[in-house]
């Protein structure tokens, strides 16, 4: 069982930046893919960024060029740097760990972007 704890959410004005962190209870070397998802009010949860153990990244079109995912295996932490935030980025952001045979979720952190 992998425990994931997100932090770094908050309230920011449009154009601002936030960095989300996701600390895992075990080494990221044992986790194939770390991902960030978000779920806005009345919307389905969507994948916005993922990073493999080899460092390959993928982004949703809606955040490409503005968000950057990274992982620090030594700190058991994945990050999501969010720049040029827009009101439509307002959502609960969830960290996800995919070990191949099991998937784990954090509790989520709220990001609110005002116009």
Taking the C-alpha atoms of residue 27 and residue 34, their distance in angstroms, rounded to an integer, is 12
Question: What's residue 102's pLDDT?
Answer: 94
pLDDT value of residue 4 = 97
Q: What's the pLDDT score for residue 16?
A: 98
Residue 110: the pLDDT is 98
End-to-end CA distance of the chain: 39
Residues 21, 40: Cα–Cα separation, whole Å: 19
Block mean pLDDT (10 aa), the chain, length 115: 96 98 93 96 96 96 98 94 98 96 96 97
């Amino acid at each position: 069982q992998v425990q994931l704890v997100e932090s770094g959410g908050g309230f920011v004005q449009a154009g601002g930046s936030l960095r989300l962190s996701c600390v895992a209870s075990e080494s990221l070397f044992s986790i194939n893919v770390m991902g960030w998802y978000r779920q806005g009010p009345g919307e389905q949860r969507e994948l916005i960024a993922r990073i493999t153990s080899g460092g390959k990244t993928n982004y949703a079109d809606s955040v490409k060029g503005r968000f950057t995912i990274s992982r620090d295996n030594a700190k058991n932490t994945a990050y999501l740097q969010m720049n040029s935030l827009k009101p439509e980025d307002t959502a609960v952001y969830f960290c996800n760990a995919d070990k191949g045979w099991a998937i784990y979720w954090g509790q989520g952190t709220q990001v609110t972007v005002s116009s």
